[in-house]
Chains A and B, each alone.
Chain A
């Protein structure tokens, strides 16, 4: 919850009257429902920068949009070759990694803020870090964290898209956030940051939910809540289908 706290601080700091610009943002949906034929969809994050006075156009303005899925614990294992066969050996547990992570910005992140600031707010794929990690390997967690990010990125669950936030007008911006079918269920937060001259000028956080609905969700719950009944059901269906097939396709004598 450290990050939620940071965002709260950022938001409260930005309410100060010194800020000449304010940020309003919204989402196309407040809920995404994964159904049986779900193949992924886009969440549209849009917003506007409201300014009380004219801002000199020379000022560098940037918008960064971060979407984080519910926290998850990962186990990362590294393969080593033993007698010609590759097998898992070293292991690192990463606690409190985002189950889903997406960051988009108007310019490459490295160009719009200092590395320390990016690290503090976990802006950028390379900055995604667990709340806690545990391993018997002394100080060797780093390649495992990097591997976790790489693997999640390949699964399209971690994404960094610089220059993806588009300005529709001087103050209106929009970005399409892809939510794949494999996105974990739970509460997501969309954090929108307005950067001015390399500093956070305004920030806003909005939640949305990803849920499985319909048959899949009920089957998943059934399998986990009442595994014995679920197993029996599967067996009964299998037996009935087997019996039915011998009945349907009775061979001509």
Chain B
């Protein structure tokens, strides 16, 4: 049965949406990522306007990170104070990003910036992951321990120090605040939750205990993506509630299947697969930017 998406203004088969949600959910369950970086490009390939894809993915991420955040909250492994500081930055970043997207849309450059942003993002993350998982796989064979990560002393020289009890840290509020801003901008312009940036930054930059990292990042992603969804609805009228509903329904089922599937696979190979996938999506988007388009003209309704 075809359903009509009121905001994207297109007819799609509901099974296609469920399948897309489930596919991305499966991957996010397998790899423990939000999946926004896969869902947004997928929707764009499918013909959903870029700003609708970005805005609707934000609401999908609210649902998927909510499920994870609740599980973590029950285990009392969320540093609410840290999440709060990051949120202050995150909400500011989201406001900034949504306004930026509105301006880009008026200039007719929204599609370009979203695609280019993804190429850079996916290219960087994909290469880093590929490199890392390749080295881990080789190291596992030769069994040489990896060198310990370098300490970042400059973090401790910053002012505005705060005590984070759950994380057992006494650090400046500036790095988490800046991190929050970056994630807020990314979530509103690219429709990603930013977990792949927050998690490494929390571990290597802020040096938070690994046990609280996942819960804290999920909690802040829930609120940032929720804020982004509301702002996108208000400023850009770009959130498609029908699209979101079907993607979420597919996503929650897919995620559960993914978690179970991941338990049977080897972690290193899993990460290698994800890296290849990320790079493939990035390359496909890059191709779209450089290949001579079949139609040089683009038509949008309304005049700026």
Contacts and interface: CB of A to CB of B under 8 A. Distances in A.
A239 B300 contact: no
Interface string B49-75: 000000000011011111110110000
B303 A95 contact: yes
Interface in B251-304: 252-253, 255-256, 259, 289-293, 295-304
A79 B109 CA distance: 11
Contacts of A212: 4, 6
Contacts, number: 188
B116 interface: yes
Contacts of A246: 66-68, 70-71
A87 B63 CA distance: 34
A251 B75 CA distance: 14
Given A147-B299, A238-B244, A88 B108 contact: yes
B243 to A, nearest CB: 10
B252 A245 contact: yes
B95 interface: no
Interface string A56-79: 000000000000000011111111
Given A74-B301, A93-B303, A223 B3 contact: no
Q: Is the interface of B mostly helix, strand, loop or mixed?
A: helix
Contact of B252 (A85, A249, A251): A249
Interface in A210-248: 212, 216-217, 219-220, 223-224, 227-228, 230-235, 237-239, 241-246
Given A232-B230, A238-B63, A241-B249, A86 B293 contact: yes
A107 interface: no
B233 A227 contact: yes
B10 interface: yes
A245 B256 CA distance: 9
Interface in A7-40: 34-39
Given A181-B2, A239-B226, 17 more contacts: A39-B11, A75-B301, A81-B292, A86-B289, A182-B9, A212-B4, A216-B4, A216-B6, A216-B242, A219-B242, A223-B239, A234-B233, A235-B229, A238-B59, A238-B60, A241-B248, A245-B255
14 contacts: A75-B303, A76-B298, A78-B297, A181-B10, A216-B4, A219-B241, A228-B234, A231-B239, A234-B59, A238-B59, A242-B70, A242-B252, A244-B252, A245-B256
Q: Which 4 A-B pairs have the closest CB atoms?
A: A242-B66, A231-B233, A147-B297, A245-B252
